[in-house]
Amino acid sequence: MRLSQAFVPTVKEIPADATIPSHQLMIRAGMVRALAAGVYVFLPLAQKVLARVMRIVREEMDAIGGQELLLPSLSPIELWEQTGRVKAFGDTLFHVKNRPLVLAPTHEEVVCWLARNHISSYKEMPQIWYQIQTKFRNEPRPRSGVLRGRQFLMKDSYSLDRSREGLDRAYDLHAGAYKRIFTRCGIRFFIVGASSGAMGGTGSQEFMMESPSGEDVIALSEDGTYAANLEVATSIVPAAVRVPGGTAIEEVHTPGVKTIDALSAFLKVDTRCLAKSVVYRAGDAHVLVLMMGNDSLNESKLMAVLGTDVRPLEAEKLRELTGADGGSIGPVGLRGFTILADNRLKGANGLISGANRNDYHLRNIDLERDCAIGGYHDLRTVEEGEPSPNGGGNLRIVRGIELGHIFKLGTKYADALGAMFLDENGKESPVIMGSYGIGIERIVACHIEQNHDDNGIVWDRALAPYDVHLIAVSARSAQVTEAAEALYGELGRSGVDVLFDDRKETSPGFKFKDADLLGMPYQVIVGEKNLAAGKIEIKERKTGTRTLVPKADLVATIQNLLS
Ligand code: ATP
Ligand code: MG
Span 260-284, mean pLDDT? 94
Question: Which numbered ligand comes closest to the C-alpha of 198?
Answer: 1
Considering the domain architecture, whether residues 28 and 134 belong to the same structural domain is answered as yes
Q: Please tell me the residue having the least CA distance from ligand 1 atom 24.
A: 148
Q: Please tell me the residue having the least CA distance from ligand 1 atom 21.
A: 439
- Residue 412 scores a pLDDT above 70: yes
Choose the residue to mutate in 53, 401, 405 for probing ligand 1, maximizing ligand atoms within 8 Å of C-beta: 405
pLDDT at 224: 85
Q: Which carries the bigger pLDDT value, residue 284 or residue 396? A: 396
How does DSSP assign 377-422, residue by residue? E--BPP-TTPBPTTSSSBEEEEEEEEEEEEEEEETHHHHHHT-EEE
- Kindly report, residue by residue over 277-317, the tens digit of the pLDDT: 999 999 889 999 999 999 999 999 999 999 888 999 999 99
CB proximity list for 418: less than 8 A, separation 6 or greater: 116
Considering the domain architecture, whether residues 302 and 371 belong to the same structural domain is answered as yes
Number of H helices, E strands in the chain: 16, 31
- Kindly report, residue by residue over 129-140, the tens digit of the pLDDT: 999 999 999 998
Residue 170 lies in a domain: yes
Q: What is the CA(382)–ligand 2 centre distance, in A?
A: 24
Give the span between the Cα atoms of 429 and 411, in whole angstroms: 9
Give the span between the Cα atoms of 149 and 142, in whole angstroms: 6
- Residue 201 scores a pLDDT above 60: no
Q: Please tell me the residue having the least CA distance from ligand 1 atom 31.
A: 439
Confidence category of residue 203, pLDDT binned at 50, 70, 90? confident
CATH number for the domain spanning 199: value is 3.30.930.10
Residue 387 lies in a domain: no
Choose the residue to mutate in 53, 154, 185 for probing ligand 1, maximizing ligand atoms within 8 Å of C-beta: 154
Q: What is the CA(438)–ligand 1 centre distance, in A?
A: 7
DSSP character for 17?
T
Considering the domain architecture, whether residues 358 and 483 belong to the same structural domain is answered as no
Confidence category of residue 543, pLDDT binned at 50, 70, 90? very high
Residue 152 lies in a domain: yes
The amino acid that residue 563 corresponds to is: S
Considering the domain architecture, whether residues 36 and 179 belong to the same structural domain is answered as yes
DSSP character for 247?
P
Residue 99 lies in a domain: yes
Report pTM: 0.86
Choose the residue to mutate in 185, 187, 402 for probing ligand 1, maximizing ligand atoms within 8 Å of C-beta: 402
pLDDT at 283: 86
Provide the β-strand partners of residue 292.
275
The torsion region of residue 258 among left (phi > 0), alpha (psi -120 to 50) and beta comes to alpha
- Residue 333 scores a pLDDT above 60: yes
Residue 15 lies in a domain: no
- Residue 339 scores a pLDDT above 80: yes
Q: Please tell me the residue having the least CA distance from ligand 1 atom 14.
A: 437
Q: Please tell me the residue having the least CA distance from ligand 1 atom 22.
A: 439
Spatial contact of 433 and 411, defined as CB atoms under 8 Å apart: yes
Residue 277 lies in a domain: yes
- Residue 447 scores a pLDDT above 90: yes
- Residue 176 scores a pLDDT above 80: yes
Span 385-409, mean pLDDT? 95
Which atom of ligand 1 is nearest to 106's Cα? 10
The angle that helices 164-184 and 44-63 make with each other, rounded to 10 degrees, is 140
Confidence category of residue 202, pLDDT binned at 50, 70, 90? low
Choose the residue to mutate in 442, 443, 447 for probing ligand 1, maximizing ligand atoms within 8 Å of C-beta: 442
Helix ranges, 185-280 (H) = 260-267
Considering the domain architecture, whether residues 206 and 339 belong to the same structural domain is answered as no
- Residue 197 scores a pLDDT above 50: no
Give the span between the Cα atoms of 562 and 229, in whole angstroms: 38
CATH number for the domain spanning 266: value is 3.90.960.10
- Percent of the chain past pLDDT 70, that is, above it, reads 98
Span 212-239, mean pLDDT? 91
Q: What is the CA(178)–ligand 2 centre distance, in A?
A: 19
Q: Please tell me the residue having the least CA distance from ligand 1 atom 2.
A: 402
Q: Which domain holds residue 203?
A: 21-233+396-448
Considering the domain architecture, whether residues 349 and 278 belong to the same structural domain is answered as yes
Confidence category of residue 243, pLDDT binned at 50, 70, 90? confident
CATH number for the domain spanning 542: value is 3.40.50.800
Give the span between the Cα atoms of 183 and 447, in whole angstroms: 11
- The set of protein residues with a Cβ atom below 6 angstroms from ligand 1 is 106, 137, 139, 148-149, 152, 154, 402-405, 437-439, 441-442
- Residue 425 scores a pLDDT above 70: yes
Tell me if residue 238 falls in helix, strand or coil.
Answer: coil
pLDDT at 225: 86
Question: For the chain, how many structural domains are there in total?
Answer: 3
Span 184-212, mean pLDDT? 77
Which atom of ligand 1 is nearest to 206's Cα? 18
Span 54-76, mean pLDDT? 98
Considering the domain architecture, whether residues 96 and 162 belong to the same structural domain is answered as yes
Confidence category of residue 200, pLDDT binned at 50, 70, 90? very low
Considering the domain architecture, whether residues 42 and 183 belong to the same structural domain is answered as yes
Q: Cα–Cα distances in Å, from 275 out to 260, 278, 342, 378?
A: 9, 10, 10, 15
Considering the domain architecture, whether residues 99 and 135 belong to the same structural domain is answered as yes
Q: Please tell me the residue having the least CA distance from ligand 1 atom 18.
A: 404
Which atom of ligand 1 is nearest to 215's Cα? 3
Residue 34 lies in a domain: yes
Residue 240 lies in a domain: no
pLDDT at 213: 84
Considering the domain architecture, whether residues 205 and 255 belong to the same structural domain is answered as no
Helix ranges, 201-296 (H) = 260-267
Q: What is the CA(115)–ligand 2 centre distance, in A?
A: 25
Q: What is the CA(130)–ligand 2 centre distance, in A?
A: 20
pLDDT at 196: 40
Considering the domain architecture, whether residues 215 and 256 belong to the same structural domain is answered as no
Considering the domain architecture, whether residues 479 and 556 belong to the same structural domain is answered as yes
Boundary-marking domain end, from 417, 448, 479? 448
